[in-house]
Each structure stands twice: as C-alpha cells, then as structure tokens.
C-alpha cells in the first residue's frame, strides 16, 4: 500500500492511519520520547518534513507527520465546509488522543502553521509548545490584508474563490505550477530536486487532492472576518516563530504577532530562506526547533 511513498534517509518510518471524526488521516511516525506533531502546508504532504524527521528522532522525540485531510493518502471529504480551519484544528486534537497522548509539541508550516495557531487557541490543553513557520498569527494576517502589497502577494487565494469552471481552471494552473514552476520558487537553487517534485506531483495527482487543497482557501473566505477576530484567544503555549525573509507570499512585517495574543514568544528570522523555509534552510530550522523544544528537557 505504501510502496510508492518516498523514503527518508536516516530514519525508519512507520505508515499508519487514524480514524478520526469525519475523516481518516494517514501519517508517518518514528522515534520514541515526547510527542512532536508536524503539520505540512500547501501544496505538500508529510514529505515536506523530510529534513526535520531524522533530526528530531535522533534528539529523542516521537515524531508524527500526518497528511492533512484532503492531501495525499488521507481521506478527502466533500464540501468546502469540511476544510474549515476549526475542523482541521480538531483533527490535530483528535490525532493526539488517537496516539495515546494528552499533549504534544506542535510544529506547522504554511497551512499547517495556520492550523497550528488555531489548534493552540481552541485546544490549549493538548498543545504544550507551538512552533510556526512562515505564516502569521491570524490577527496579524487579517490586518496584513489591509495592505495593497499583501493583497497583491495573496492574489492566488482570491483566484481560487472563483466558482465552477473558472475555479477548476485555477486548480489546473496550480497543478501545472507544482509540476513545472515550483522548483524555481525557493531562495536556494536545488532546494527541490527532480525526485522531490515527482513526489509532490504524485501526491497532488491523487483523485480529489487538488480540489481538497483548493477548498482550504475557499473555506477560509466563507467566514466573517469579524467573527474570526471575536473567536481569537491568547496563545498559552510557549511559541516559536521561524520566518524565511525571502518569502514571496507574505510580507516579513507579518512575522511577529502582538504580544497580547502571544505573550511567550521567540522569533528566529532567516534572511536567506524563502517561504519554503524548512526545506530551504533545514539545518538552521532544525537548530531553532531543537533549541526551542529542548527548553522543556
């Protein structure tokens, strides 16, 4: 069943499934020790953490990297409402309980970071530490959308809102970008190898995967921003923000949240890394994560 899933040098991964409320999630797992859950972003899958998995296992952690709902081998519920960020955050909580744990260190990048922010606010009982990579706190992002520069950087988010055939066309253009244009996006040449692009393209080619990935963005704009703001709560967990400053999609000024929302905060800026920070600068990201997680040991 998992023969076509990529291997990661330096770590023996177990492929497993978790049957949660309304969805079946596929995940990889390795190591023993305190739990660390890694949440990938768009247009990726668990493989985006290939450089972090061995480092965290070697450091003595139990590491779990799921495919988010709709991605790769995870279930693909129909309906935009299935991809509301509240449902995605609930998946995190339920996965932790499925694993027989009560708390986790939660690490997220891109959409995984957006989910991690919400999980830490809505389910603080399960998030012991929070690390987010290149996605701002929701309050910061909402304010950022008032900036013409950020609106321009986020053009694809609005393009994906198109209904019917125009929306399907945008999905196909996104897939073409994954297959042929994405490799030019990172700050460092060679960050994505031909093999990496093959794996990402294969995952996005699974039936329904592209639609589900687009539905994350569609669900985001089906909610009233004022209601989102009213539902926000301060993050209780110690928090690390890692930010690649050569991000084409998010302004570097969005990196640091208001201390009122995130009182226990550390920020690590990587000037030579792009939005794909943990793949562009894996050694620097691993060092930041291990130093942060090690504060509990």
* Active-site annotation, residues: 110, 217, 275
DSSP string computed for 202-246: HHHTSTTHHHHHHHHHHHHTTS-HHHHHHH-----S-EEEEEEEE
Alpha-carbon span 202 to 115, nearest angstrom: 24
Does the CA dihedral 52-54-60-66 come out positive or negative? positive
Alpha-carbon span 119 to 125, nearest angstrom: 10
How many CB atoms lie under 10 A from the CB of residue 153?
Answer: 17
Per-residue DSSP letter, 82: G
142: phi then psi, degrees, rounded to nearest 5: -60, -40
């Amino acid at each position: 069943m998992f023969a076509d899933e990529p291997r990661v040098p330096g770590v023996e991964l177990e492929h497993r499934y978790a049957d949660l409320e309304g969805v079946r999630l596929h995940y990889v797992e390795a190591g023993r020790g305190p739990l660390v859950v890694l949440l990938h972003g768009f247009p990726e899958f668990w493989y985006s953490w290939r450089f972090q998995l061995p480092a965290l296992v070697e450091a003595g952690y139990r590491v779990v990297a799921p495919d988010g709902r709709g991605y790769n081998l995870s279930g693909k519920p129909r309906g935009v409402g299935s991809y509301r960020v509240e449902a995605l955050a609930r998946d995190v909580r339920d996965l932790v309980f499925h694993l027989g744990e009560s708390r986790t260190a939660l690490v997220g990048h891109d959409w995984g970071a957006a989910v991690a922010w919400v999980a830490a606010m809505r389910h603080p009982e399960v998030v012991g530490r929070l690390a987010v990579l290149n996605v701002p706190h929701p309050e910061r992002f909402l304010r950022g959308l008032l900036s013409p520069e950020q609106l321009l950087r986020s053009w694809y988010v609005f393009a994906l809102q198109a209904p019917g055939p125009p929306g399907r066309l945008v999905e196909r253009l996104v897939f073409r970008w994954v297959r042929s244009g994405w490799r030019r996006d990172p700050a460092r040449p060679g960050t994505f190898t031909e093999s990496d692009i093959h794996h990402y393209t294969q995952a996005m080619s699974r039936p329904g995967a592209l639609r589900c990935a687009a539905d994350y963005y569609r669900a985001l704009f089906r909610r009233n921003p004022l209601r989102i703001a009213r539902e926000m709560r301060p993050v209780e967990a110690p928090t690390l923000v890692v930010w690649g400053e050569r991000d084409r999609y998010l302004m570097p000024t969005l990196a640091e949240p208001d201390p009122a929302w995130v009182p226990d905060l550390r920020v690590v800026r990587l000037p030579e890394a792009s939005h794909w920070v943990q793949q562009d600068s894996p050694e620097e990201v691993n060092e930041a994560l291990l130093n942060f997680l090690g504060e509990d040991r």
